[in-house]
Amino acid sequence: MLEVDNLDPLDSSTVEAIRVRALEGAAARGCTNAEVRIERIRSQFVRLRDGALETAVDDIEFGIGLRVVHSGAIGFAATVAATPRVTDELVTQAIESAQVSRIGLAHPLELAPEPSHGTIEWISPYRTDPTQVALASKDAVLRDWSKRLLASPSIEHVTAEVMAVAEDKYYADLAGTVARQQRVRIAPTVEVLSVAEDGDFETQRSLAPPVGRGWEYLEGEGWDWEAELDLLPTLVADKLGAPSVEPGRYDLVIDPTNLWLTIHESIGHATELDRALGFEAAYAGTSFATPDQLGTLRYGSPLLQVTGDRTAPHGLATVAVDDEGVLTQQFDLIKDGVLVGYQLDRSIAAISGFGRSNGCAFADSPLHIPMQRMANVSLAPAPDEGPPTEELIARVSDGIFIVGDKSWSIDMQRHNFQFTGQRFFRIRDGQLAGQLRDVAYQANTTEFWGSLEALGGRSTYLLGGAFNCGKGQPGQVAPVSHGCPSVLVRDVRVLNTKQEAGR
């Protein structure tokens, strides 16, 4: 259970005094809504290059953020001086901010209603807080991995790194919700580089996704690191000697370690309602999936079942209540291939006529205002047992099996995209026939998902994701996961990236 004392340097009586003075002060001065967040975020990053420590960062961010609705406008103020006395000034600053923002509004702003959820204490599932593991221990694990890989004659260089975050958050609002939440997340990565005699080179990166787990993740809970490290030398050597792909149209079997990113860019961002309404255009624009198409837009094949979910175990966007006091939930975005829902915060829900937010507000710092952010957006696997990845491959006579994510590009409407990957295997007559190089697949969103022919079963399902989903101006980053199975997609355009680059 999270203890308020974790919100260093505050004790529980100080936290309570800040809550009372912030919320009661805001109500007394005419605010119709007010939310206070007291947060402590510890972020660590350790990187080794060829077994030698290159970077070590240990950062703590602490502060209070107060958001109010006053005279039909939102105001926000924040401080790192966390005392009850300073809280009075914070209320004044938030109200003054609302008065300034009111000038630019065409009509008063409303928030979709949300009832009180009382007192909530929530902690994400983990055994060992990764930020409490000593630097020497982190260094030792990464050094051991590096030494093991450098012993292979096929590997010239190794980069090994881990990022760990622990969030302690106290939230309270005028409705009566008081939430104490703690969550951790961790992102370990290993990348190897192999160089040929002629100077050509290739890299391979580990496939382990970032997750909402503790240090036990690096000890084999949730991922088989032994198998991962054993495979990397052979994979990178084989890729360096592999032929370059012949451009054309291929059937693709896509592993969840690659597909999560395609979901993120072509579905996750496209179903954020602030983008679809045109209110948000930063970081690659708005969305083709506009509200007038809700319930009618054929997003993909009938196999496409996509949900937003802020409750998924170990999900990077999983919490108990969001930063507007909304109880988190799972909700449909695409059902039987048709667009049926959006991701919402309270202001967007009110503007667009939805009765309630589905819990998608988040701020990446106590010093930043909450904004609409992505839930864990996931594609459901085939029902019942479903086929394994090998069976999907067996259905392909001429195709490519794609594993791991790398670079991506998508247009300002979230419609046309291009993705590469880590590993590409030629499929001939239902069998893998060696690796390929220089592969990228290109499509538009509805054609790609419309060509989805088969889903893997639950055994192929994996929760991928990223720590650094960017949005907004000024920009904020948010962690988010995307679960999905392996899939079979027919007749997709494949480019040769080397040829496209003119090399």
Report the share of the chain in percent with pLDDT over 70: 98
The CATH topology of domain 4-240 is: PmbA/TldD fold (3.30.2290)
Residues whose CB falls within 8 Å of the CB of residue 265, separated by 6 or more in sequence, listed in order: 284, 408, 410, 414, 417
What is the arithmetic mean of pLDDT over 118-129? 97
pLDDT of residue 6: 61
Q: How confident is the model at residue 475 (pLDDT cuts 50, 70, 90)?
A: very high
CB 375 within 8 Å of CB 306: no
In angstroms, the CA 92 to CA 84 distance is: 13
- What is the 8-class DSSP label of residue 292? G
pLDDT of residue 282: 82
Per the DSSP assignment, residues forming a β-bridge with 493 are 249, 442
In angstroms, the CA 8 to CA 16 distance is: 14
Provide the whole-model pTM: 0.96
Q: How confident is the model at residue 2 (pLDDT cuts 50, 70, 90)?
A: very low
pLDDT of residue 365: 97
**Which residue type occupies 498?**
K
For residue 467, pLDDT beyond 80: yes
Q: How confident is the model at residue 84 (pLDDT cuts 50, 70, 90)?
A: confident
What is the arithmetic mean of pLDDT over 217-231? 96
Residue whose tokens read 């909402």:
212
**Which residue type occupies 95?**
I
pLDDT of residue 7: 65
For residue 4, pLDDT beyond 70: no
φ, ψ of residue 142 to 5 degrees: the values are: -65, -35
For residue 395, pLDDT beyond 90: yes
Structure-block tokens of residue 447 = 């054609």
Q: Which parts of 248-354 are beta strand (E)?
A: 248-254, 306-309, 330-335, 338-339
If you average pLDDT over every residue of the chain, what do you get? 95
Each residue of 312-357: pLDDT tens digit?
999 999 999 999 999 999 999 999 999 999 999 999 999 999 999 9
What residue spans define the domains of the chain? Answer: 4-240, 248-500
pLDDT of residue 1: 31
What is the arithmetic mean of pLDDT over 120-139? 97
Each residue of 40-64: pLDDT tens digit?
999 999 999 999 999 999 999 999 9
CB 68 within 8 Å of CB 98: yes
